[in-house]
Amino acid sequence: MAATLTEAGTGPAATREFVEGWTLAQTLGEGAYGEVKLLINRQTGEAVAMKMVDLKKHPDAANSVRKEVCIQKMLQDTHILRFFGKRSQGSVEYIFLEYAAGGELFDRIEPDVGMPQHEAQRYFTQLLSGLNYLHQRGIAHRDLKPENLLLDEHDNVKISDFGMATMFRCFQKPYFAPYFNGIPYIC
């Protein structure tokens, strides 16, 4: 079960086998430290997102990857992208996550128009539910933006990308807005 990519076809649309039985179908996106690829199980058709980070190219990403994996392991909520596992091969870290077939919320927002109010309210309510879950567990995401809010096949919000997330405790103030200084914050 080697993790090296081997050709399973020819031409630009060729798929590649990542691990025995799993096909590397396409690139879903790119971030500051790496790429996210779509893996499909040839027998079951199950789809999984795989985040790839090459620590040789991005040595400063090591702590971020470690922290992201640690935080993701703790989370199980309807509005948080599920974590399936991690593996390392050489300098490359692979993080296996739930595949959000609906893409990014960013792609649903029309430039200079936005989106219908009822849709925005539905997404916002789901986002607040996910944030409530995170904050109850002492986790601050710190990089919320439409590109990190994914949609599943049922059009439900999934908070993703915990690379900048951090843990906090009640009454710890480093991530509060300045206007909270001096005002007691009750968790």
In a domain, 8, yes or no: no
In a domain, 1, yes or no: no
Q: In this structure, which amino acid lies at residue 114?
A: G
Rounded (10°) CA dihedral 133, 154, 22, 49: -40
Q: In this structure, which amino acid lies at residue 50?
A: M
Judge whether residue 71 has pLDDT over 60: yes
Name which of 14, 53, 20 is nearest 36 in CA terms: 53
* pLDDT for the residue 141: 96
Domain span including residue 143: 13-180
Q: In this structure, which amino acid lies at residue 54?
A: D
Tell me the pTM. Answer: 0.81
* pLDDT for the residue 50: 97
pLDDT digits (tens, 9 = 90+) for 43-56: 999 999 999 999 99
Judge whether residue 108 has pLDDT over 70: yes
* pLDDT for the residue 104: 97
* pLDDT for the residue 134: 97
In a domain, 149, yes or no: yes
Q: Tell me the C-alpha distance between 75 and 97, whole Å.
A: 12
Query: Which residues participate in catalysis according to the annotation?
Result: 143
- Summarize the confidence of residues 126-153 as an average pLDDT: 96
Judge whether residue 17 has pLDDT over 80: no
In a domain, 115, yes or no: yes
- 51 annotated to bind ligand: yes
In a domain, 186, yes or no: no
* pLDDT for the residue 97: 97
- Domain count within the chain: 1
